[in-house]
């Protein structure tokens, strides 16, 4: 059975663009509950400045208060050296650095050219000097809403530069939901051949309803790490209409049905998914939390017994 590992990003990627601040207590208890669901990793928060992402201004407090469960890695987003120092202080298990492979998207999202981003991230990697494992998330790997399709050669060129710096893992993000399954298959096949020693993660958004199809396409190419967001929360503030990340529980439900070993206690996770609208104050896109698992059978309606007896 093929094992797949999940990284839950709801408290970072999801909560960062919520219109209302999610209280620190709610963040801490959600992370603690997620820690008991079987995740390999949880992206807890971001050490970006409180000014640029006010929703995650409580990063230190959240990292200080969560309970560390053995076997779960607690990763955080780190934008620069200042963020790295704060994250180190908070005892994060991994730093997740982010830049875009699209120049326009990088300018819009990170307010600087890609080369400047690369230089800043290289400085973080140098400063850490292997004290903390580094993952680099590359945005817009399957297309940019301003520039269009992302050439695989461009994606690989940036991935190569980080691989040379000794990162542990690379995440390929379909930030605005532009990927389609055959494109995903091709890129994943190429990535597995090119980076056999690195942790490779795929990060999909369901902006155009192709999220789960893309997860399956990647898994079928042997990709074994995925980012997902509880309830399908998340989005990209600089991509008009960009809706959420793929929904963790929906993706896990699908992969379990397809015979993959996810390590996730799905029933427990669904309890949390059903609490999420109460935490954020609005409905969320996830489907399985509403419909139940395929194995959760319904009692037959009363009329079935009547009809059955009529045909007996």
DSSP state of 65: H
Does 13 contact Zn ion by CB under 5 A? yes
Does 174 contact Zn ion by CB under 5 A? no
Q: Which segment (12-20, 115-123, 269-277, 287-295) binds Zn ion by CB under 5 A? A: 12-20
Region class of 231: left (phi > 0), else alpha (psi between -120 and 50), else beta = left
**Which is nearer to Zn ion, 135 or 245 (by Cβ)?**
245
* Burial zone of 309 (CB within 10 Å; 0-12 exposed, 13-18 middle, 19+ buried): exposed
Whether 247 is catalytic is: no
**Which is nearer to Zn ion, 34 or 128 (by Cβ)?**
34
Tell me how far CA of residue 140 lies from CA of 18, 98, 155, 177, 178, in angstroms: 21, 11, 9, 9, 8
Which pair of structure tokens corresponds to residue 19?
């219109």
HEC string for 134-169:
EEEEEECCCCECCCECCCHHHHHHHHHHHHHCCCCE
Give least dist CB 221 to Zn ion, A.
Answer: 20
Give least dist CB 9 to Zn ion, A.
Answer: 7
Give least dist CB 13 to Zn ion, A.
Answer: 4
Give least dist CB 245 to Zn ion, A.
Answer: 5
Does 43 contact Zn ion by CB under 5 A? no
β pairing state of 5-8 and 169-174 = unpaired
**Which is nearer to Zn ion, 16 or 262 (by Cβ)?**
16
Q: Which segment (6-14, 70-78, 162-170, 257-265) binds Zn ion by CB under 5 A? A: 6-14
Number of residues that bind Zn ion (CB under 5 A): 3
Give least dist CB 67 to Zn ion, A.
Answer: 25
Footprint of Zn ion on residues 46-105 (CB under 5 A)? Answer: none
**Which is nearer to Zn ion, 13 or 249 (by Cβ)?**
13
Which pair of structure tokens corresponds to residue 96?
């997740």
Count Cα atoms within 13 angstroms, Cβ side, for 129. 1
Give least dist CB 147 to Zn ion, A.
Answer: 18
Footprint of Zn ion on residues 238-257 (CB under 5 A)? Answer: 245
Catalytic residue among 37, 141, 144, 236: 236
Q: Are 94 and 132 contacting, i.e. CB atoms less than 8 angstroms apart?
A: yes
Which pair of structure tokens corresponds to residue 249?
């529980």
> For residues 110 and 228, what is the distance between their CA atoms, to the nearest angstrom?
22
Footprint of Zn ion on residues 206-235 (CB under 5 A)? Answer: 234
Which pair of structure tokens corresponds to residue 274?
């059903």
**Which is nearer to Zn ion, 13 or 94 (by Cβ)?**
13
**Which is nearer to Zn ion, 30 or 141 (by Cβ)?**
141
In angstroms, the first-to-last Cα distance of the chain is 44
Name the nearest CA neighbour of 4 among 208, 194, 221: 221
Q: Which residues carry out catalysis? A: 236
Query: Using CB under 5 A as the criterion, which residues of the chain lie in contact with Zn ion when the complex forms?
Result: 13, 234, 245
């Amino acid at each position: 059975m093929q094992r797949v590992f999940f990284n839950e990003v709801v408290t970072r990627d999801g909560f960062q663009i919520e219109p209302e601040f999610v209280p620190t207590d709610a963040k801490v208890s959600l992370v603690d509950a997620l820690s008991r669901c079987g995740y390999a990793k949880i992206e807890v928060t971001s050490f970006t400045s409180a000014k640029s992402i006010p929703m995650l201004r409580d990063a230190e407090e959240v990292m200080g208060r969560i309970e560390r469960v053995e076997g779960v890695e607690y990763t955080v987003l780190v934008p620069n050296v200042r963020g790295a120092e704060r994250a180190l202080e908070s005892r994060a298990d991994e730093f997740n650095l982010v830049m875009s492979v699209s120049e326009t998207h990088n300018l819009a999202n990170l307010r600087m050219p890609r080369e400047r981003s690369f230089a800043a991230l290289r400085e973080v990697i140098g400063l850490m000097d292997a004290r903390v494992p580094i993952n680099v998330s590359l945005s817009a790997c399957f297309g940019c809403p301003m520039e269009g399709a992302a050439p695989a050669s461009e994606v690989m060129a940036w991935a190569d530069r980080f691989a040379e710096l000794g990162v542990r893992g690379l995440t390929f993000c379909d930030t605005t939901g532009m990927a389609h399954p055959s494109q995903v298959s091709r890129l994943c096949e190429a990535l597995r051949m090119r980076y056999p020693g690195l942790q490779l993660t795929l990060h999909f958004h369901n902006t155009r309803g192709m999220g789960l199809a893309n997860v399956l396409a990647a898994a079928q190419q042997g990709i074994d790490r995925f980012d997902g967001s509880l309830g399908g929360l998340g989005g990209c503030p600089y991509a008009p209409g960009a809706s959420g990340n793929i929904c963790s529980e929906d993706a896990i439900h699908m992969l379990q049905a397809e015979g993959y070993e996810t390590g996730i206690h799905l029933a427990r996770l669904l309890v949390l998914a059903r609490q999420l609208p109460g935490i954020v104050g609005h409905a969320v896109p996830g489907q399985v939390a509403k419909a139940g698992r395929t194995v959760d059978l319904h009692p037959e309606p009363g009329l079935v017994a009547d009809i059955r007896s009529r045909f007996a």
